[in-house]
Amino acid sequence: MALTTDGAGVSLLLGVVLLYLGAESLVTGAKGLATDVGVRAAVAGVTVVAFATTAPELFVAVVGKLEKTTTIGLGAVVGSNVANICLVLGLSALVRPMAVSRETVRRHLPFMVAAAVLLVALGADGTLSTLDGAVFLLVLAGFTVVLLRGVSDPDPDAADAAAGDGADTGAVVADGGTAVAAPLGRLARVDPRDLLFLGAGLALLLVGARRLVEGGTAALYLLGGSDRLVGVTVLALGTSLPELAASLVSALRGEADFSVGNVVGSNIYNVLAVLGVLTLLSPIRVPASVVGTDFPVLLAATACCALLLAVRGRVGRVAGAGLLAGYAGYVSLLV
C-alpha cells in the first residue's frame, strides 16, 4: 500500500525512534555479553554487533533474489559497504574521534580489504557464479577461524603495554587448550538479560530500518529510479541504518572498538556471507554500471579506511568530514 505524505512522516519519525532504542539495546547487550564470556570489545564489535547489524542486508538480498531482482541485492551490499565506511564511520568520527585497537588492524582489517578486492576481481567479468560464492564462504570460514583463535589470545595493546613496563607476560600466553576452554566455559555464565537486550535491539533496528526504507523506496520508484539506483542508495542507506545507529551510540559512549569493529565486521559479512549465500542459490549478473562505477568507489572507500586505520591508527573529525564528503559525491553520481 502506497504511503501518503502524512503516513511517510509518521513512518520516518517512528523509524528514527526505533533505531535509536534498538542501537542502545544492542550495544548494551553486546557489551554485557563480552564481559560475561570474557572477550574483548574489539572482538565483540566485529562479531556480535557486526553480524547482528548485517541481518538487514541479508534479508534484502534474499528477498531480492526470490523476487528475481538480484541487482537490488548486489547493489544493497556494495552500496551498504560504501555507506558503512563513508557515512557510518564518518559520522561516528565527527561525534567523537576514535582510536583503533591494534587487534582490529592486525586481524580484522585485512579480511575487510580482501573481501572488497575479491568481490571486484570475481565480479569484473559480469557474473558472480556459484563457484565464486563457494570462494566467498571459504574465506569466511578462514575469518571465523581467526576470530575463534583471537578470542583466547592476549590483547595486543595490553601485551605491548605490559612488555613496555617490563612485566612478565608468561602467564597470559599459557597452554592453548586452557586458553580456549576458559572463554567457552564462561558461556554458562551468560546473563540472560544481555541476550534479551541483544534480541530486542536487533528486532527494533530491523523494524526501524524498514520504516525508513519504505517511504524512500516508493518515492524513488515513482520518480523512475532503476533497481540499481534503489539498491545502492535507498536500500543501501536503509540497510546501513542499524550499523549507523549502533556505531553512533558506541561513539557517544566512548566505545571506539564497538564502533569501528561494527563497520569492519559488517563489510566482511556483507560480501562473504550475504553474497556467498546468494550465489549458492543461483549466479548473480553484475551490470556494467556496477563494474564501472560502484566497484571503483568501493575499492577507493576501502583503501581510505585501511589507510586511516592501519597508518594513522585513529579516525579524527577532519577524516570523518572527508569520508562524508566522499559519500555525498558518490550519491551525486547516481542521482
C-alpha cell at 46: 566485529
Count the helices and strands in the chain (H runs, E runs): 18, 4
pLDDT at 50 over 80: no
State the pTM of this model: 0.72
**What is the pLDDT confidence band of residue 170, given thresholds at 50, 70 and 90?**
very low
Average pLDDT over residues 56-62: 59
Alpha-carbon distance of 214 to 204, in angstroms, equals 16
Domain of residue 146 covers 5-334
Average pLDDT over residues 201-220: 70
DSSP assignment letter at 188: G
Its sign, for the CA torsion 12, 71, 133, 120, is negative
Alpha-carbon distance of 88 to 212, in angstroms, equals 16
Residue 71: CATH number of its domain: 1.20.1420.30
C-alpha cell at 63: 528477498
Task: Quote the number of domains for the chain.
Answer: 1
pLDDT at 63 over 60: no
- 227 with 69: CB under 8 angstroms? yes
Q: Over the stretch 112-167, which tens digit does the pLDDT of each residue have?
A: 999 999 999 999 999 999 999 999 999 999 988 887 776 655 555 544 544 444 44
